[in-house]
Amino acid sequence: MGRLNIYLNRLEHNLNFIKSISQDEDGLIAVVKANAYGHGILEISKKLVSLGISRLSVASVSEGILLRKNGVNCNIMVFYPDPFEFHDLVNYSLEPVIYSKEVFNRFIKLLLSKMKSEYSLHIKFNTGLNRLGFKYKDIDWIIQNIQNSPVKILSVYSHLAASEDEKNNLNTKKQIKIFDKIQKKFYAYNSEIKYHLLNSSGIFNYPENQYDWVRAGISLYGYSNNPIWDKNLLPIAELITKIIQIHEIKKGESVGYNNGWSAKKQSRIAIIPLGHADGIGRYLKDKNVSVLVNKKKAPIIGNICMDIFMIDVTDINCKEFDEVTIFGKENPANVFAESAGTISYEILSSLSNRIKRIYFS
Ligand SMILES: *Cc1c(COP(=O)(O)O)cnc(C)c1O
């Protein structure tokens, strides 16, 4: 039992800020994968399109299909398409990211079988993250194989491994250098291709390496991975719930499964109706993570259960059915996450669909 209040005017604020530091306002790819980082892919995408965004990106074909079935008609790029879903991808006019020879060949075969031509796609390079991507040495192969094949390269991109780190990160410099070389080589083949390297932190830390497009995800939702940039952004969501019961606990009594916490003194604990099935993970145990009750910090105690967790409210003036803020304006998700040893991305994107999303414009 909880609700995620989502303020769409804050999404607009964040978008405007990102645009204000972008070289090309029209070069913004809005990343709405993972249910728009937990915020609701349909509502967020529709709002972004209404604000002038013309290119969205998702992780999977199914996320793209969901958008299409709900009337989202802009360009949709699929970062990690399953080759076994290429048929659907093409039927719904989604743009795949192609990251290996094997995937390229499979895609061409599918296009030929469907008699398609000039199908738009994106090419991804591995410049040092060592996740997905072609290598620099594959360029000749790609250019050779693209001739006489029914595709059109819309963009060529790569992804930084440590865009949130300080500027003079050596590995980042290396990645930028390789990407420059990739760009030069493709440019000689086709001058219309677009290039992009930066995610949110990259946009903030490496403004001089924006190339043509940038890919903004977490910053749209109000986080930048850096307290300085955070000041310009507004977390768009607040996770709210309420106390459903309060217990007085004697010194020495334990709370929750496996005696996860025991009272060192006479205590008051409150029961909160959210659990690991909602995305409030068991890793929160013993991390001294707090939620807000009547503006005071109440630490999470014991093991998180599937539907419930407990907090210590001994020193807080509160009663049953008082509101509890798990994260929000006063206690942003990144602070909540970092005290638990994770990042805002994980907390937000793992909020389950049991949590009602409520939108405010
Ligand atoms: C998720 C993702 C992004 C967005 O990153 P943020 O840090 O959320 O801005 C950009 N590019 C790729 C390839 C991604 O997978």
The span from the CA of 101 to the CA of 342, in Å, is 35
The span from the CA of 244 to the CA of 131, in Å, is 45
Residue with tokens 């999470």: 300
- 237-360: CATH, from 3.40.50.10210, 2.40.37.10, 2.40.50.140, 3.40.80.10: 2.40.37.10
Cβ-proximal residues to 68 (8 Å cutoff; 6+ apart), any chain: 76, 92, 93, 94
Task: Please check the confidence at residue 168 and state whether its pLDDT lies above 90.
Answer: no
Tell me the average pLDDT across 221-246: 96
Share of the chain above pLDDT 90, in %: 94
Q: What would the two tokens of residue 125 be?
A: 């390079």
Q: How confident is the model at residue 69 (pLDDT cuts 50, 70, 90)?
A: very high
Q: Residue ranges of the domains in the chain?
A: 8-223, 237-360
Report whether residue 221 contacts ligand 1, using a CB cutoff of 6 Å.
no
Q: How confident is the model at residue 109 (pLDDT cuts 50, 70, 90)?
A: very high
Among 3-7, 153-157, 283-287, name the one with the lowest average pLDDT: 283-287
The span from the CA of 305 to the CA of 284, in Å, is 11
Question: What does the longest C-alpha to C-alpha distance in the chain come to?
Answer: 78
Counting Cβ atoms within 10 Å, is residue 295 exposed (0-12), middle (13-18) or buried (19+)?
exposed
C-alpha dist (Å) from residue 125 to 132, 138, 142, 157, 172: 7, 9, 11, 6, 14
Q: pLDDT tens, 303-314?
A: 999 999 999 999
Measured in Å, residue 269 CA sits from the centre of ligand 1 at: 39
Best mutation site among 79, 196, 205 for ligand 1 pocket (most ligand atoms within 8 Å of CB)? 79
Q: What is the pTM of this model?
A: 0.96
Measured in Å, residue 37 CA sits from the centre of ligand 1 at: 11
pLDDT for 329 equals 87
Instruction: Please say whether the beta carbons of 24 and 207 come within 8 A.
Output: no
Phi, psi of 328, rounded to the nearest 5 degrees: -175, -155
The reply to whether 184 belongs to the active site is no
Report whether residue 39 contacts ligand 1, using a CB cutoff of 6 Å.
no
Measured in Å, residue 191 CA sits from the centre of ligand 1 at: 25
The span from the CA of 261 to the CA of 286, in Å, is 9
The reply to whether 19 belongs to the active site is no
pLDDT for 166 equals 75
Looking at domain 8-223, its CATH class is alpha beta
